[in-house]
Structure 1
Amino acid sequence: MIKLLLIDDHAILRDGMKNIIAIEEDIAVVGELTSGEEILETIETTEPDVILMDINLPDRNGIELTSLVKKSFPKCKVLILTMYKHDEYFMAALKAGADGYLLKDAPSEEVIEAIHAVAEGKSILHPSMAKKLVDYHQKKNQISQNGNDLTDREKDVLICLVEGLSNKDIADRLFISDKTVKIHVSNILKKLQVKSRSQAIIYAVQNQIVPLP
């Protein structure tokens, strides 16, 4: 029997989910919460296998609560059920440790299948969210590859940019002309797929392309 904890501040959705789950012989709702208050106490007493979690809650959002649950009860599975399609929510939920991410427009049978899947230790994503994840990793890998494509001289220039040097200062340090510096900077921006020196600096630091000054 899969023990399920519902966390959503909309009574209609909770009632609807309970009606759907009532048909399932191997899933039982063991608790309901409308906010993150007392979530740890509720998990302690009800011992759910899966938490069906909304993101938009009155006190703390579902992403914060997911992180809290995973740190305190790592074996408890969290399935996000939300209306939010935004990349930032999706990525943040995965980073927080969510085992699945579904949108509220998903068919009821899909939600039931997702509950079974995460209870078995699988990861479940709404089809549109799955595509976002694939696109994200493809872009990340592409940008990472671009970082590796920098020549040694371009990396030297990028180090100077991170240190905050002007084109003239870079030219003096590397014994090249101002014109050559501009060419290197232009090539760096193209290879890193960024639009400005500041974006190049941020990307270089975040991805450890160059050592910190």
Structure 2
Amino acid sequence: MIKLMLVDDHAILRDGLRNLLEIEEDIQVVGEAVSGEDAIGNIGECNPDVVLMDINMPRMNGVEVTGILKKLYPEIKILVLTMHNHDEYFLAAIREGADGYLLKDAPFDQVIDAIRSVARGESVIHPSMTKKLLNLHQQKKQEENENALTEREKEVLQCLVEGLSNKEIADKLFISDKTVKIHVSKIFKKLNVKSRSQVVIYAVQHQLVNFPE
């Protein structure tokens, strides 16, 4: 039996969900909350397996409540059910530990399946949000590629760690002083540092270079 807690400030929606859920033999509604504070205060007594969480609530939204509950009760699964399909809500909820994210326009059968899935330890994401997650992953991967050092920049970085001046780097790598300056500027930008000492510390901490003997 899956013990479920409903967290939503709309009584009509809670009543409708509860009436539909009561038909399911393997799901039992053990508690309801009209606000985030109410959910945090009563969840220990209800001891649910799954929390069906709304986002748009007064004073404390569902994303904040999700983060707090996950810290207090990490074993409890939280399935967000909301009308918000905005990236910021979705990503924030996932970052706070939500186990699933569904939109309220989802068919009820899909909601039931999602409750059972998160109860089993699986993750559930509304189909329209899956595309957002993939786009975010691709964007992050592209940014990482753009910030990755080229082979020549790695060589220049190695020289910086060894304490060589721009002139010495130019002589060692058989390039001009101007080219060295361009490489150093790009390295600073990619690693988000502003000085040679900072770039050396960053390179050593992140093991980007070989240590000079």
Question: Same-fold call, TM > 0.5?
Answer: yes
Runs of at least 5 residues in structure 1 that lack an aligned partner in the other structure: 158-170, 189-199
In structure 1, the partner of 2:206 is none
Displacement of 1:146 after TM fit?
2.4
Displacement of 1:183 after TM fit?
9.3
Task: Measure, in 2, the Cα distance between the counterparts of 1:183 and 1:122.
Answer: 46
In structure 2, the partner of 1:166 is none
Q: Deviation digits for residues 123-164 of structure 1, max 9, x if unmatched?
A: 00000111111121122122212222445449979xxxxxxx
Task: Measure, in 1, the Cα distance between the counterparts of 2:80 and 2:128.
Answer: 14
* 1:144-155 aligned within 5 A: 144-153=144-153
Q: Judging changes above 3 Å, is the alpha-carbon distance between structure 1 residues 180 and 142 closer, same or farther for their aligned structure 2 residues?
A: same
Task: Measure, in 2, the Cα distance between the counterparts of 1:62 and 1:155.
Answer: 49
Task: Measure, in 1, the Cα distance between the counterparts of 2:128 and 2:119.
Answer: 22
Task: Measure, in 1, the Cα distance between the counterparts of 2:55 and 2:114.
Answer: 17
Paired residues in the alignment total 185
In structure 2, the partner of 1:64 is 64
Residues 154 and 184 in structure 1, CA contact (< 8 A), matched pair in contact too: no
TM-score (norm 2): 0.74
Task: Measure, in 2, the Cα distance between the counterparts of 1:91 and 1:205.
Answer: 25
* 1:168-179 aligned within 5 A: 176-177=177-178
Displacement of 1:12 after TM fit?
1.8
RMSD over aligned CA atoms reads: 3.1
Displacement of 1:205 after TM fit?
3.9
In structure 1, the partner of 2:126 is 126
Residue aligned with 2:111, SS: helix
Are residue 22 (structure 1) and residue 22 (structure 2) matched?
yes
Residues 81 and 104 in structure 1, CA contact (< 8 A), matched pair in contact too: yes
Q: Deviation digits for residues 111-130 of structure 1, max 9, x if unmatched?
A: 01000000010000000111
In structure 1, the partner of 2:102 is 102
Q: Judging changes above 3 Å, is the alpha-carbon distance between structure 1 residues 44 and 144 closer, same or farther for their aligned structure 2 residues?
A: same
Displacement of 1:38 after TM fit?
3.4
Task: Measure, in 1, the Cα distance between the counterparts of 2:18 and 2:81.
Answer: 14
Q: Deviation digits for residues 47-67 of structure 1, max 9, x if unmatched?
A: 000000011111111111111
In structure 2, the partner of 1:47 is 47
Q: Deviation digits for residues 150-191 of structure 1, max 9, x if unmatched?
A: 45449979xxxxxxxxxxxxx99x8844x9867987xx5xxx
Task: Measure, in 2, the Cα distance between the counterparts of 1:33 and 1:106.
Answer: 22
Query: Residue 104 of structure 1 aligns to which amino acid in structure 2?
Result: K
Residue aligned with 2:130, SS: helix
Runs of at least 5 residues in structure 2 that lack an aligned partner in the other structure: 158-165, 171-176, 194-198, 203-213
In structure 2, the partner of 1:80 is 80
TM-score (norm 1): 0.74
Query: Residue 120 of structure 2 aligns to which amino acid in structure 1?
Result: E
Residues 40 and 65 in structure 2, CA contact (< 8 A), matched pair in contact too: no
